[in-house]
Amino acid sequence: MNVDKIKQHFPETNIKVNEPLSHYTYTKTGGPADALIFPKTKEEVQAIIKWLNEEDWPVTILGNASNLIVKDGGIRGATIILTDMNQIVIKDKSIKVLTGAALIEVSKRAYQSGLTGLEFACGIPGSIGGAVYMNAGAYGGEVREVIKQVTVLTRDGRIIERNNDEMDFSYRHSKLQESDEIALEVVFELEEGDKEVIKEKMDELTYLRTSKQPLEYPSCGSVFKRPTGYFTGKLIQDAGLQGLTWGGAQISTKHAGFIVNIDNATATDYIELIEHIKKVILETDGVQLETEVKIIGEDYPALSGAEGSFLKRASNTLKEKLKDKKQKTVIEKS
Ligand SMILES: Cc1cc2nc3c(=O)[nH]c(=O)nc-3n(C[C@H](O)[C@H](O)[C@H](O)COP(=O)(O)OP(=O)(O)OC[C@H]3O[C@@H](n4cnc5c(N)ncnc54)[C@H](O)[C@@H]3O)c2cc1C
């Protein structure tokens, strides 16, 4: 993989080389992307995907990176981040939006146009593409209820329009999770509403969110899916885990379903803490927790050869120090 070659082939596209993904993820963790690509249009994404296929590059898609943990070794190959592809067009009761737009912004624009149906989404920090991929939802609403059509790009470069039924939406799930298709554009169909009532609803939900969630720290939202018949936060609280600190990551003292980055956490801190929670909850309650957050990328260090083995030694020393720090934390807690 030659990063210069892609830059030469797409001279108009913003492409950053060896770019730390911790600058983009909501957890503020994660290693570098070999090439981080910022397309602005659907056609640009299609051309880039076709070229990358011909060159045999692995491709990763990012939206707002609010539901991801990128491992400390980062992502090899091409990472396409869609946040610059963010046009929103409102006509009558429909909103046509490119999938890099922020869901919060689309919810706000719907309110400004007197359209109801997206109030529930006013505090979900994802992009439209990420929201479709996850069928994001909150306070009784889900994006599937207001989506009319999704334009997708298949990994072999074909553009297809899918209606709502074809998206196979269910709880935190859409067809994209199996098909690997890239959502490019979404049409929302909303209803006319009373702007004051819409605003009141959004204010109420914002109050609920800010009072219950640790929004003052970096996090990736709810780490685990809700297991049938249980509340994850309560399981974690009852197991005595709330407040447990692992390296720089902590099970939030405000909402036990969140893991917050309180002190320069690494992705490894997050992942180890997640595994610890899963183990304890399985032992104490017999419940197998499943992560809602996606864990992607490679372990640190990803380099090979002399440089790699030097980094590996440095990393092991760091790990030993961290282990020491973590053991102290666990002892202090118990
Ligand atoms: C503080 C906080 C609060 C949150 N509250 C909620 C909540 O109330 N409800 C809720 O549902 N979620 C919540 N989340 C989680 C997150 O915001 C949602 O899951 C959101 O939909 C993820 O969108 P994203 O753009 O950040 O996706 P990313 O994290 O960038 O990606 C998530 C997955 O989607 C894929 N993806 C992204 N864009 C596309 C695309 N265009 N085409 C195909 N695949 C794509 C990625 O490859 C990845 O697999 C919260 C997160 C945080 C940090």
Q: Tell me: domain 3-81, CATH 3.30.43.10, correct? A: yes
Active site residues: 172, 222, 292
Q: Which atom of ligand 1 is nearest to the CA of 184?
A: 41
CA atoms of 150 and 20, how far apart (whole Å): 31
214-333 adopts what CATH topology? 3.90.78
Q: Do residues 38 and 264 touch, judged by C-beta distance below 8 A?
A: no
- Establish whether residue 205 lines the binding site of ligand 1, counting it when its CB lies within 6 angstroms of any ligand atom: no
Q: Is 87 helix (H, G, I), strand (E, B) or coil?
A: coil
- Residue 5: the pLDDT is 92
Give the CATH number of domain 88-211; options: 1.10.510.10, 3.40.50.920, 3.40.50.10490, 3.30.465.10.
Answer: 3.30.465.10
- Residue 309: the pLDDT is 47
Q: Do residues 37 and 55 touch, judged by C-beta distance below 8 A?
A: no
- Establish whether residue 138 lines the binding site of ligand 1, counting it when its CB lies within 6 angstroms of any ligand atom: yes
- Residue 2: the pLDDT is 82
- Residue 219: the pLDDT is 98
- Residue 294: the pLDDT is 96
- Establish whether residue 186 lines the binding site of ligand 1, counting it when its CB lies within 6 angstroms of any ligand atom: no
Strands 32-38 and 75-81: parallel
CA atoms of 170 and 142, how far apart (whole Å): 9
Buried b (16+ CB within 10 A) or exposed e, 102-123: bbbebbbbbbebebbbbbbbbb
- Establish whether residue 127 lines the binding site of ligand 1, counting it when its CB lies within 6 angstroms of any ligand atom: yes
Q: What is the pLDDT along the chain (334 residues), one digit of tens a residue?
A: 788 899 999 999 999 999 999 999 999 999 999 999 999 999 999 999 999 999 999 999 999 999 999 999 999 999 999 999 999 999 999 999 999 999 999 999 999 999 999 999 999 999 999 999 999 999 999 999 999 999 999 999 999 999 999 999 999 999 999 999 999 999 999 999 999 999 999 999 999 999 999 999 999 999 999 999 999 999 999 999 999 999 999 999 999 999 999 999 999 999 999 999 999 999 999 999 999 999 999 998 644 455 544 444 444 445 555 555 555 454 444 3
Q: CB-based contacts of 210: which residues, under 8 Å, 6+ apart?
A: none
CA atoms of 238 and 221, how far apart (whole Å): 20
DSSP code string of 208-264: HHHHHS-TTS-EEEE-BPPPTT--HHHHHHHTT-TT-EETTEEE-SS-TTEEEE-SS
Q: Which atom of ligand 1 is nearest to the CA of 138?
A: 8
Q: How many whole angstroms from 182 Cα to the centroid of ligand 1?
A: 14
Extended strands (E) in 94-231: 94-98, 115-116, 137-138, 141-142, 147-153, 159-163, 182-189, 191-192, 219-222
Q: Is 130 helix (H, G, I), strand (E, B) or coil?
A: helix
Q: Which token pair is 28? A: 């503020």
- Establish whether residue 261 lines the binding site of ligand 1, counting it when its CB lies within 6 angstroms of any ligand atom: no
Q: Ligand 1 pocket test: pick from 27, 45, 133, 180 the residue with the most ligand atoms within 8 Å of its Cβ.
A: 133
Q: Which token pair is 138? A: 């909150």
Q: How many whole angstroms from 63 Cα to the centroid of ligand 1?
A: 7
- Establish whether residue 219 lines the binding site of ligand 1, counting it when its CB lies within 6 angstroms of any ligand atom: yes
CA-nearest residue for atom 47, ligand 1, is 61
Q: How many whole angstroms from 315 Cα to the centroid of ligand 1?
A: 30
- Establish whether residue 62 lines the binding site of ligand 1, counting it when its CB lies within 6 angstroms of any ligand atom: yes
CA atoms of 209 and 215, how far apart (whole Å): 8
DSSP state, 57?
-
Q: How many whole angstroms from 67 Cα to the centroid of ligand 1?
A: 4
- Residue 324: the pLDDT is 55
- Residue 314: the pLDDT is 45
- Residue 308: the pLDDT is 46
- Name the residue ranges covered by the structural domains of the chain: 3-81, 88-211, 214-333
